[in-house]
Structure formats: C-alpha cells, structure tokens
A and B are shown apart, each in its own frame.
Chain A
C-alpha cells in the first residue's frame, strides 16, 4: 500500500504563479524525495531532503520537511508551462534500505 498521501490531487494555475504541493507519510524516514513525471515518461529526481533538515532550495524549488507532523511541502515559484507534470513525493524509510515508497502524486497544470 502507498505510504504517502499528497494533496491536492490536481492543481491548475497560471504561468508566473506559485504552486504548492503537500505530502504526508506514516513511518520514520531517512529522507524524503520529490520526483517529476511528464506524461507517460520516467521519473526525474528534483530534490532530496534529509530527516535532519527542515528546508532546502534548488533553483525555483523549495522543499520543507516537518518530521513531527510527518509532512513535507514542495513549492515551485514563478511557474512555467513546462512545469506541467505529475509530482510525487517518495520516502526512504529508516530500515528499508534504498527502497522508495511513493505517494499518489499531484497533477500540476500550468496554463500559459
């Protein structure tokens, strides 16, 4: 079963706006990762945040992690039409080795 839950399931915004996606998980983790998937394609790694980190930035991406609430958020600033994709959070558990547990994903549509 999927560990993570993401919300919203779908998000539609205009170019230039910010997009925020949230992820919750259930078990103790080593890290949480965000991946992007363009329609029917493979997953592209975006950012990894370790369990002892609270916030991380990469370009237009900002990720926060709250281990007390077992939740994370991904913020994409100044969105572009090319950001249209599905976004998944994935957790690496403390005892699961490199196995990833994915959420159900958020479908982001950025309208030009």
Chain B
C-alpha cells in the first residue's frame, strides 16, 4: 500500500523563479493538503484540494497556487520566489468521500520537498 509520495526531494532555486512541487496521495485518499514548514517551526497550512478544487486556504499570498488532477495527485506552484519561501513543503492526504468531513481521521504525510532559495 503506497503511502504519500512527493517529488522532488530537494530543490534549489533563485529569487524570482517559479517552482512546481508534486504529490501523490495515499491509495484510497481523495483529498490533498499542503503545508509549509520553516526551519525550527511547526507546519503551516497552505491550502487543500478536493474534487480538483481548492476547498480551504490558509494565510498565504496568491503567489502560491495549486492544482489537483483526476487521479487525486496534486501540484503546488510558487511564483516569484522569495528568500522567505525556503522551507520544507509537506503534502498530506486524507479521505473525504461525500464532501462532508466527518473528522477524527489522521492525516498521512509525505517526506516533503526541501526548497532552498538563493
């Protein structure tokens, strides 16, 4: 049973560039959430995708955008990269099913993509 997979594992970019990170959810899951974790801090929620639409969004600028594909995999895009975007980007998946979150399920996380901005 494949868990959550993320690619690439590491990425180095320069300021002003654009980046795309990828996530495949755990088998059977239909919802993907993205989190940003700066060094020494807890993860912060960026946004969540279900049925190919953004369902929830955290306090992140619109330089951060995403997409979900029919196979439930997802991409996180960041434009006009800033030094402060350097972080570990984590993807988490869960099962929503009939659009109503019933709660009390653990999230399953991938190992993340380490993004460094020079």
Residue of chain B at shortest CB distance from A9: B40
A-B contacts at CB below 8 angstroms, number: 77
> What bracket does the count of chain B residues touching chain A fall in?
20 to 34
**Given known A-B contacts A98-B101, A100-B107, A43 and B56 have beta carbons under 8 A apart:** no
B70 within 8 A of A: no
Residues of A within 8 A of B114 (CB): 40
**Chain A residue total in the interface (Cβ 8 A):** 28
Chain A to chain B contacts (Cβ below 8 Å), 16 pairs:
A2-B41, A2-B44, A4-B42, A40-B112, A41-B112, A42-B110, A45-B109, A50-B104, A88-B43, A90-B42, A98-B105, A100-B45, A101-B45, A102-B42, A105-B41, A105-B42
**Chain A residues with a Cβ under 8 A of chain B:** 1-2, 4, 30-31, 33, 35, 40-45, 48, 50, 88, 90, 92, 96-105
